[in-house]
Amino acid sequence: MKIRSIDIYILDIPTVRPHQLAMHTIVAQTIVVARVTNEEGLEGWAEVATIGGASYGEGTPEAIKANIDQYIRPHLIGKNPVYFSKIMFNISKAVRGNQFAKAVVEAAMIDLLAKGKNVPAYELLGGKVHDSLPLAWTLASGDTGKDIEEAKEFLHQKRHKIFKLKIGKGDPYKNVDHVLKIIAAVGDQARVTVDINQAWDETTANYCIEALQEGGVSMVEQPLPTWNYEGMARLTARFKVPIMADESANSVHEVYQIAKHRYGNSMALKPCKHGGLLETKKVAAIAEGAGFGLYGGTMIESSLGTAVCASVYATISEFEFGTELFGPMLFKDKITTNDVQFENFEIIIPDGPGFGMEIDFEKVKHYSREY
């Protein structure tokens, strides 16, 4: 069962439409895929996604691959993945930071081990609490009428009843007006949240959040830059609407400080930013102990990475704000032969061996920079 090899692929897959954030607009999403193979030839697969190269965070896809190849690989070869927790502990001692790189190799080991045992990955993570989880969608056309029409159509299809608007780019006050019109149109049927992606200063946030709160928005995500912890605390104390920490909530140490000092009062989970599935469970426990509502975040992963996230989210007790694991819906193509299933406003937790995804290696090669 010992690990024989690990292969890392950087893939660029086009999206069905532009996906706009404050720092970048995605028209082709870059994902990093890991394949861990044991001595018997069984393969474990996992994925992490990045956004806009270095515009979202320090973990660029090129750095993820380089650091796994050079610094993490030696800690994997010849090891038995049944001890994946010990392996990751040793890696944490030898390699600082590199959360995305750690997350993808840990998940690939878990997929390999679970496949070897012929069980779903969530059984190795404590067992699932949920068979499905509520699914949000980002309304991103920028046109108020089109966004309202899209929201109403998805409500009719029973596809989503949580809608997020990315409002960190452009005029903040026009963006707030855009949000309020959408709430007026669908707020009696759906929850509407906003994500600023760190784009506002504190003065802007004070004016805009007041209007959003009065208008009925249900959550405000990362309104201030990650360094402005004290500003986040002041916003949290002033407003009743939940203030969510996302980009600022990475390691367990950062999350502990956020919980202790109330630099927000809700939190977005993302296995890649926490450094893996085991670390995600720790982060969720800290947040739960502090009374924070949780959100199952995404970095816009494809079907493989979405299944990875869904598998660990399934083992966490409550998600007050649902999840946003809509990534597969945004991709023009997929690298798996099967699909993640969505129905009745929710994502269905995959039940197959490992993360339940069957890899189409020809598609991996087609989109990989290495071929």
Q: Give me the domains of the chain, ranges plus CATH numbers.
A: 3-118+359-367 (3.30.390.10), 125-348 (3.20.20.120)
No. of H helices and E strands in the chain? 13, 13
The whole-number pLDDT of residue 45 equals 98
Q: What is the pTM of this model?
A: 0.95
In whole numbers, what is the pLDDT of the chain averaged over residues? 95
Pairing of strands 132-134, 346-348: antiparallel
Q: What percentage of the chain reaches a pLDDT higher than 90?
A: 92
The whole-number pLDDT of residue 371 equals 67
State mean pLDDT over 328-340.
Answer: 96
Active site residues: 166
The whole-number pLDDT of residue 16 equals 82
Sign of CA dihedral 56, 315, 118, 348: negative
The whole-number pLDDT of residue 23 equals 61
State mean pLDDT over 327-348.
Answer: 96
21 band by pLDDT with thresholds 50, 70 and 90: low
pLDDT in tens, 348-358: 999 999 999 99
- 25 versus 232: the higher-pLDDT residue is 232
Exposure class string for 84-99: b at 16+ Cβ within 10 A, else e: beebbeebbeebeebb
- Identify the three-state secondary structure at position 144: helix
d(CA 254, CA 227): 11
d(CA 189, CA 329): 22
- 138 versus 24: the higher-pLDDT residue is 138
Query: Measured in Å, how far apart are the chain's first and last C-alpha atoms?
Result: 29
Q: What percentage of the chain reaches a pLDDT higher than 70?
A: 96
Residues 6+ apart with CB under 8 A from 371: 365
Radius of gyration of the CA atoms of the chain, in A: 20
pLDDT at 22 over 70: no
Among the residue ranges 48-62, 74-88, 162-176, the one predicted with the least confidence is: 48-62
Q: Angle at Cα 208 formed by Cα 202 and Cα 209, nearest 5°?
A: 85
Pairing of strands 191-195, 220-221: parallel
pLDDT in tens, 236-264: 999 999 999 999 999 999 999 999 999 99
